Structure formats: structure tokens, C-alpha cells
Structure 1
Amino acid sequence: MTKTLPTLGKIKGKDQEKGRAKRDSQPADAVAIPAPGQGKRGESGYLAYLLRQASAANRLHMERALADLGVTLPQFFVLTMLGAYPGISGADVARLALLTPQTVSVIMGNLEKMGAIVRQPHPVHGRIQTIALSDAGRALLAQCKVRATDVDKQLRAGLTPDEEAVVRRWLVTLAVPGEGLAE
């Protein structure tokens, strides 16, 4: 499926004087935009673009899956990291969730208002706060994980276990400093 977008035609008559253009919707002037999987958005496209396209599609799918829980995808990332590494700092969460410290700070504030996290002073470094999930946060994370698992199953659909292992190794290799793209 391709979309056809009309291009702007020549400015004519009174519109020319007012600086406005009329749309020229003649097919000869149209630009065809390929659907995902077609043209450069398909197998002949740049790998980096295809990764971004797949990531965007997955993000949209995850956002829709989490929406009725009132959780955004970045909030889910933060909840997941706090569930896996209780008591870590906001800076650590930012590094693990691949978010900026400023974004994590806003997310933490929202999660705290929701009653999903609790903050406590670090036992040694007084200026650092440790963050952990509250009981409500653990329950919310459990609900989110059910949705994420469903999306993950859909993502793996059609892959054999061997193919999935190859994809996983390749993606990890891209992210490991010195092995892939990360330096």
C-alpha cells in the first residue's frame, strides 16, 4: 500500500498576488510514499532505518497495551528497572532505562504521585536518594509485565527458537561497547 501525496502546483492569478498556492493534485506531480515493508522501508532499506521503524512500531504497540493502566512506556521501563534493582538511584535508573536524568526525574515524580514508588535517603551518601517500588508499584508492574509479555510473544511470532536466539545475540552485540555500535 502506498500513499500518494499531492505536490504544490504553480501559484496562479489572485493567489499569486496573495502569496498562496493552490494544491495541484495531478497524479504526474504526486510523490508515492511506500508503506512499511515496501521500497526503502523494506528489505532493501538501510538497516539503521529498519531498526528505527521496527522500534517505532513496537513502541506504539506497547503504548497501546499499557494505556488503560495509565502507564507510559518510559514509566514501564523505570518500573521494570526498579523491580529488578531495588534501592538504586535515579541516575542509575536513567542509565539502565536509557533515558535522560531529567526525564527520569519527571517520571519518578509522577510515579511517586501514583503511589508506585518510595524514596529514601541513601544510607551512606545523604544527598542521594534510593528508590524502590511500593506494594502498589509492584502490583502495577506485575500488570504491565503481563501486557509486555503478550506484546513480546507477538514480536516473536513466526520465529523459531534458533532464529530468535540469532536476533537476540545480534541486538545485544550492537549494544555492547567494543563489540557493536556502542563505544
Structure 2
Amino acid sequence: MGDLPDAGEGKRGVDGHLGYLLRQAAHAHRQHVEQRLGNLGLTLPQFSVLTMLAAYPGHSSADLARLALVTPQTMSVIVANLLKAGLIVRTPHRVHGRIQTIALTDAGEAMIKAAKKRVYALEAEMLADLAPETQAAIRRWLTRIAQPETK
């Protein structure tokens, strides 16, 4: 048996299957983000949830699971850890008392501000050698492939 190829080589490179390359890139992105967020004590899924809460405050755990692309069970763990860290607070929904809405605390606002600086700097590094038109095309393409198909 031969040696396994590194990322960028063989089928892990430009001749690779698109789905695999997307997964490989997502995995590398997660590792890089978690390195940047490590000393803040934040994981990429926690960062995603805080980002979604900053953009769309006052939603339920189920809503956040859909926005952050995780299962409801995973979201329960994330919410519990963010509550314990004092970064979020839950309050009963104004109309549906059994539903709890989630919002950032002041500490959560400060955390997401610090985390965004690090993550956005990483993203700028990732895109640095691409022209703005190419960056825009990549964003449009990624958005398009994530949208549900219309029939």
C-alpha cells in the first residue's frame, strides 16, 4: 500500500470529487477557526450560535438548531454550555409560554465581538489572493448550492 495523499494532492486536489473537496475545505476551516477561538474558550458551533443570536435575537433552541445547521440534541448541549458560561439567557416566549427564547447577555455580546474579529481576520486571509469579483462569485455559488431546489 502506498502513502496517502496530503490535501491538495491526487484525488484530494483539483481532480477530486466536488463533494469531498467541499467536506475537506469545511474540515480545514473548522480546524483553523477553532485554533483562533481556542483561548476564548469557544468552539465553532458555539460561535455559529452566538453569531445567529446576534443577527436574529429572541429565537428558540429549535430555531437556532436550524440556523446553525446542527441537530436539536446538539443544540441542547451548546445552549447548556453557553448558559453555564453566562453568554446567553433564556426567557419564556411572550405568547407561547412553553417555548423559551434565547438572547445574548452583555458577556455574550462582548464574546461574539472578540470572536468575530478573529474569525473575520482568518476569512480575510483565506480570500486575500482572490479578486473581489471572484470572492463574490464564490459566495454566490456557495449560497446557490445550499438553497433548496425548486421544482
TM-score range, shorter chain: over 0.9
Q: Which has the larger radius of gyration?
A: 1
Match of 1:90 among 42, 61, 74: 61
1:103-118 counterparts in 2 under 5 A? 103-118=74-89
- Tell me which amino acid in the other structure corresponds to 1:59: R
- Tell me which amino acid in the other structure corresponds to 1:170: W
The alignment yields a C-alpha RMSD, in angstroms, of 1.1
User: 2:18 aligns to what?
Assistant: 47
Does residue 136 (structure 1) correspond to residue 107 (structure 2)? The answer is: yes
User: 1:68 aligns to what?
Assistant: 39
Would you tell me which structure has more strand in proportion to its own residues? 1
**Count of aligned residue pairs for this structure pair:** 151
Per-residue CA distance 1:8-62 (angstroms, 9 max, x = gap):
xxxxxxxxxxxxxxxxxxxxxx412111111101111101111111111111000
User: 1:157 aligns to what?
Assistant: 128
Match of 1:125 among 79, 96, 105: 96
Show structure 1 runs of 4+ deviating over 6 A.
none
Match of 2:5 among 34, 37, 51: 34
Rounded Cα–Cα distance in structure 2 between residues aligned with 1:157 and 1:33: 29
Match of 2:146 among 175, 179, 183: 175
Identity score, percent:
56
TM-score normalised by L of structure 2? 0.97
TM-score normalised by L of structure 1? 0.80
- Tell me which amino acid in the other structure corresponds to 1:166: A
